[in-house]
Structure 1
Amino acid sequence: MSPLTEQELHQLAMNIVGDEMEEMGFEFLSINSKPKKDPQFVALKNGYLHFVVVRAVKYPANPVHYDERLLQKVKDHGVKYKARTYYAGVGLANSRDYSIPVNHNEDYVVNFAGLIEIK
């Protein structure tokens, strides 16, 4: 089995977050699927603009922990557009054995606590 690349893990995280946002009623204005090109999602909901930074997080790292300096920078940028800023960390692990990488054609476990607003 071959492990998913960083880009593939990021795409998987983007799909998980995008599906969740769609269910929550967000309307996507722009989507940037390049890792570390932030924010990944710019969306509208209830007349407000939202910036969402997505990160794929490999086990055992905690997906709710984020780079505070980066998120503050994105938030400061969002203030210019009256946007609310969120972090979406998606924890990913191989379901058979958490200590091995997520592989193609194998089940995986998702740890996603939802959108975390940066205040």
Structure 2
Amino acid sequence: MKPLSEQELHNLAMNIVGRELEDAGYEFMGINSKKGKNPQFVCLKEKNLHFIVVRPVAYPQNPAEFDPALLHKVREHALKFEARTYYAGVGLSNAADQNLPVYLNEEYIVQYEGLIEI
């Protein structure tokens, strides 16, 4: 069994959030899947620009908690474009044992409460 790398976990979290955004009618203007580059999504909805920062969060950490300094920096950048800023924390854990890593091709649990506006 191969645990997912940090980049693979990041991509999985982005896929989960991306599907939700698409279902909610967001139009993707830019997508940055490279870990450490922010924001991950720049979207348009109802003529409003949205910057969305996505983070995978390992069990037992709370996916709703974020780095205020990072989000403040992204928000300051977003304001220059009159964009709204959101955080999307996606909790990911192994379905068989939450203390184990998420493995490739194995079931996992998602804890995602949606976008948090900054």
TM above 0.5:
yes
CA positional deviation for 1:25: 0.4
Residue 65 of structure 2 corresponds to residue 65 of structure 1: yes
Partners of 2:36 and 2:112 lie apart in 1 by 19
Runs of 4+ off more than 3 Å: none
- In structure 1, runs of 5+ residues without a counterpart are none
TM-score scaled by structure 2? 0.99
SS of the residue aligned with 1:21? Answer: helix
Cα distance in 1 for partners of 2:13, 2:29 equals 19
Question: Is 1:23 matched with 2:20?
Answer: no
Question: How does 1:1-119 map onto structure 2 within 5 Å?
Answer: 1-118=1-118
Structure 1 residues 38-82: Cα deviation after superposition (integer angstroms, max 9, x where no partner) = 000000000000000000001011100000010011000000000
Equivalent AA in structure 2 for residue 3 of structure 1: P
Q: How many residues align?
A: 118
Distance in 1, Cα, partners of 2:102 & 2:75: 31
In structure 1, distance between residues paired with 2:23 and 2:10: 20
The TM-score, its normalising length taken from structure 1, stands at 0.98
Match of 1:93, SS state, is strand
Taking only the aligned residue pairs, the percentage that are identical comes to: 61
